Homo-oligomer: A and B are copies of this chain.
């Protein structure tokens, strides 16, 4: 059965390398995954006092995420950590206590960066939050995409076969990961 996967992009920039990569991840996904980008930039900063009467954008995000079978994070690194916009989606989705929308959703993480380090800092800070949130996260292949400013053509498509092949294998592995985390019907 097809699994619905949310793609969450950790950058709001219009020409974001991560958004370009997200579109490539979607187009190279295996057929068992139905993937769609879920936007996170419209959500007010998390404030526990608002839990009693949450902003509409929080409610819509959580409602949409509840219908998803998994989540793929594609993120840049800001100051050696997770961008605030992505951390905000994590925080909003995790609350109120006991009503997290993240719990048990099979995930994968790809960091994409112009730098040589490939967003390693953001990737692993995010993984630390995902441990707490009980999000079964694909371990291998890891994906730290460095030098990303050179990877796309002027239409925003990957410009070389080796990256495309890596992305395809990454998505193949994620598709298998999602299946493995889903209890089979008796």
Seen from chain A, the residues whose Cβ lies within 8 Å of a Cβ on chain B are: 11-14, 41, 43, 45-49, 78-85, 87-88, 90-92, 94, 121, 125, 128-129, 131-133
Contacts and interface: CB of A to CB of B under 8 A. Distances in A.
A77 to B, nearest CB: 9
Nearest to A43: B45
Given A12-B47, A47-B13, A48-B13, A84 B84 contact: yes
Contacts of A82: 81, 87
A45 B14 contact: no
A107 to B, nearest CB: 13
Given A79-B132, A84-B87, 7 more contacts: A45-B85, A80-B131, A80-B132, A81-B87, A81-B125, A83-B87, A125-B125
13 contacts: A11-B48, A12-B45, A12-B46, A13-B48, A41-B45, A45-B84, A45-B85, A46-B85, A79-B129, A81-B81, A83-B91, A84-B84, A84-B92
B47 A41 contact: yes
Contacts of A92: 84
Nearest to A90: B79
Given A87-B87, A88-B88, A80 B129 contact: yes
Contacts of A129: 79-81
B12 A85 contact: no
A152 to B, nearest CB: 17
A140 B110 CA distance: 35
A30 B88 CA distance: 35
Given A79-B90, A79-B94, A46 B131 contact: no
